[in-house]
């Protein structure tokens, strides 16, 4: 809670993806204990419900609501957004936290997208668009994309975003994390004038208590605990002076690779993502 500084989340409405474990569960806990109403999104009902019940017990009242959401399924994402929007409340924070990492063999989502770009970027792109009216209603509000320093493994491969020509687990992850940063850059351009601030961040390397490493062939040495890793997400959600479109690490603005912060590439990614989704609906 120290990362909140003089800010408050009391009485605000927050959406957290990937709330079944790790940073997502910790962020949902801190938000709720600080007085927010939280929509906790997760694809595993048993795990996410257990987290929600634990947090509500600690709060002494029901502040957290489980919303089923599989970010590898557009149908599931839209159903989740419908549930949230049906609550009829303004949103003040959208924490796009969920993700998959370093899947060793190429897999696809339910809609045919390469799994890492499909889940980490396209899934959050759809969810964010579906919740944008509620975020505008809650302005000043925040969209926080959890990226990674692993974005430095490479930018978006626009002529082969689905990595059908050549697949590498870590290159795929790097592309998806670069996309998270570019997404925040373009969100800021589009929504900043309407009071919605977007940014992205690196949470640190966290192994214990996180499911993110379940696909990786090897586990890197951790440099943070889950609460330490959640701190920058919380900071970006509530700090009074966040740089719109900025990239953060250790609760401070940091440098990202040029390909992840280029405004023209951010526009290109937005348009290419829309094309992919249009092709899906067609």
Pairing label, strands 141-146, 252-253: unpaired
DSSP 181: H
Nearest of 275, 122, 95, 105 to residue 203 by alpha carbon:
95
Instruction: Determine which one of 39, 173, 235, 247 is catalytic.
Output: 173
Pairing label, strands 93-96, 13-16: parallel
CB 130 within 8 A of CB 81: yes
Report the distance separating Cα 149 and Cα 120, nearest Å.
15
Write out the two tokens for 233.
Answer: 């997400």
Number of H helices, E strands in the chain: 9, 8
Q: Is 167 a catalytic residue?
A: no
Report the distance separating Cα 123 and Cα 282, nearest Å.
18
Which H helix or E strand runs over 27? Answer: helix 22-33
Catalytic center residues: 173
């Amino acid at each position: 809670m120290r990362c909140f500084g003089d800010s408050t989340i009391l009485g605000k409405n927050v959406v957290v993806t990937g709330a079944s474990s790790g940073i997502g569960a910790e962020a949902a806990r801190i938000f709720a204990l600080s007085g927010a109403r939280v929509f906790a999104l997760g694809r595993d009902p048993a795990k996410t419900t257990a987290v929600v019940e634990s947090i509500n017990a600690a709060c002494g009242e029901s502040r957290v609501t489980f919303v089923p959401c599989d970010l590898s399924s557009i149908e599931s994402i839209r159903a989740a957004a419908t549930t949230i929007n049906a609550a009829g409340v303004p949103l003040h924070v959208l924490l796009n936290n969920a993700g998959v990492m370093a899947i060793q063999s190429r897999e696809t989502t339910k809609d045919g997208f390469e799994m890492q770009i499909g889940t980490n970027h396209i899934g959050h792109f759809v969810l964010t668009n579906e919740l944008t009216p509620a975020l505008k209603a809650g302005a000043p509000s925040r969209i926080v994309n959890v990226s990674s320093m692993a974005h430095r493994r490479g930018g978006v491969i626009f002529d082969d975003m689905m990595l059908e020509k050549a697949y590498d687990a870590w290159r795929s992850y790097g592309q998806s994390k670069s996309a998270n940063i570019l997404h925040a850059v373009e969100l800021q351009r589009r929504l900043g004038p309407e009071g919605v601030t977007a940014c992205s961040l690196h949470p640190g390397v966290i192994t214990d208590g996180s499911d993110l490493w379940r696909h990786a062939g090897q586990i890197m040495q951790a440099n943070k605990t889950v609460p330490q890793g959640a701190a920058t997400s919380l900071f970006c959600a509530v700090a009074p002076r966040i740089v719109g479109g900025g990239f953060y690490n250790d609760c401070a603005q940091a440098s990202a690779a040029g390909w992840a912060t280029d405004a023209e590439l951010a526009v290109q990614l937005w348009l290419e993502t829309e094309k992919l989704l249009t092709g899906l609906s067609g």
